[in-house]
Amino acid sequence: MSKKAILSLCIVALLPLVSYLIVKKASENAVVMPTRYFPDSVVNKVVDGKQVSDTIWHKINNVTLVNQLGDTVSLDDISGSIIIADFFFTRCPTICPTLTRNMKELQDAMKMKDARRRIDSGFVRFISFSVDPERDSVEALKKYADKYGVNHDTWWFLTGEKKRIYDFALNELKLGLQDGEGVDSNFIHTQKFVLMDKDRVVRGYYNGLDSTAMSKLAEDLTLLMLEKDRKKKRKIF
């Protein structure tokens, strides 16, 4: 692993400290929140005698699949959570192990809560969608998840009807997938991680193989955690 990659993973591992610094900075300066993607419509209305425009952002539609524990689950089951999602398959010999390890770094960082609990990280959920669901059975997913030390309570590996998964990737997350046509290693899928806020609005795409992009994801994740705190008007100091 390169020095740059090691440095990036150290930054991710120190996410609770980064959270504190960002919160501290937010109290002193304006912070630019992660961009929202895919407006559905724009509503014009009058507020205090002035006409203003309000953008209605696309909420990612629900999808129901089966996780590595054999449970039927859906996005609605984790409503109100921040979601980080990616695509993989258990037989993948190339990018998937790296994607999973980098997601694992984020999962582990969520365990390292700040001693004063300035930001509650317990509502972040991770989802990995199989692009080879016909061979990625519940048993295969469980074995893969255990191999990487996954927390089954916060990270789902999902399988199910292939068309449902591919349609979800294309139509909801705007990501392309290509069927392997029966060849284990011939699937072409995105290396992007997708960040969704608690309203299931896409807030960012990140190259899961790039250390700089992973550092940016960690930063944006912290900002969304802060955004949740602001809306709840919770005291963070």
Task: Give the model confidence (pLDDT) of 128-181 as tens digits.
Answer: 999 999 999 999 999 999 999 999 999 999 999 999 999 999 999 999 776 655
**Cα 128 → chain centroid:** 9
Spatial separation of the C-alpha atoms in residues 9 and 179, rounded to whole Å? 31
Domain count across the chain: 1
Q: What is the mean pLDDT of residues 109-130?
A: 72
Asked if the structure places residue 8 within a domain, the reply is yes
Asked if the structure places residue 19 within a domain, the reply is yes
More confident residue, 233 or 199: 199
More confident residue, 80 or 236: 80
Mean pLDDT lowest among 129-143, 200-214, 218-232:
218-232
Model confidence at 96: pLDDT above 80 = yes
- What proportion of the chain, given as a percentage, has pLDDT over 90? 61
**Cα 77 → chain centroid:** 16
Structure tokens at 29: 């300066």
Mean pLDDT lowest among 26-30, 93-97, 162-166, 188-192:
26-30
The model's pLDDT over 175-200, given as tens digits with 9 standing for 90+, comes to 977 665 554 545 667 899 999 999 99
Q: Taking Cα atoms as reference points, which of 221, 224, 195 lies closest to residue 207?
A: 195
Spatial separation of the C-alpha atoms in residues 63 and 75, rounded to whole Å? 6
Asked if the structure places residue 31 within a domain, the reply is yes
Spatial separation of the C-alpha atoms in residues 35 and 178, rounded to whole Å? 28
The model's pLDDT over 128-142, given as tens digits with 9 standing for 90+, comes to 999 999 999 999 999
Write the CATH number for 215.
3.40.30.10
Model confidence at 35: pLDDT above 90 = yes
Q: What is the mean pLDDT of residues 32-60?
A: 87
Q: What is the mean pLDDT of residues 86-112?
A: 91
Q: Taking Cα atoms as reference points, which of 62, 189, 199, 57 lies closest to residue 132?
A: 189
Model confidence at 78: pLDDT above 80 = yes
Which domain, by its residues, includes 112? 3-232
Q: What is the mean pLDDT of residues 36-64?
A: 88
Residue 171 is predicted with a pLDDT of 93
Model confidence at 219: pLDDT above 80 = yes
**Cα 54 → chain centroid:** 26
Spatial separation of the C-alpha atoms in residues 197 and 199, rounded to whole Å? 5
Asked if the structure places residue 237 within a domain, the reply is no
Asked if the structure places residue 195 within a domain, the reply is yes
Residue 105 is predicted with a pLDDT of 94
What's the predicted TM-score (pTM) here?
Answer: 0.79
Q: What is the mean pLDDT of residues 56-76?
A: 97
Binned at pLDDT 50, 70 and 90, residue 6 comes out as low
Binned at pLDDT 50, 70 and 90, residue 17 comes out as low
Average pLDDT, rounded, for the chain: 82
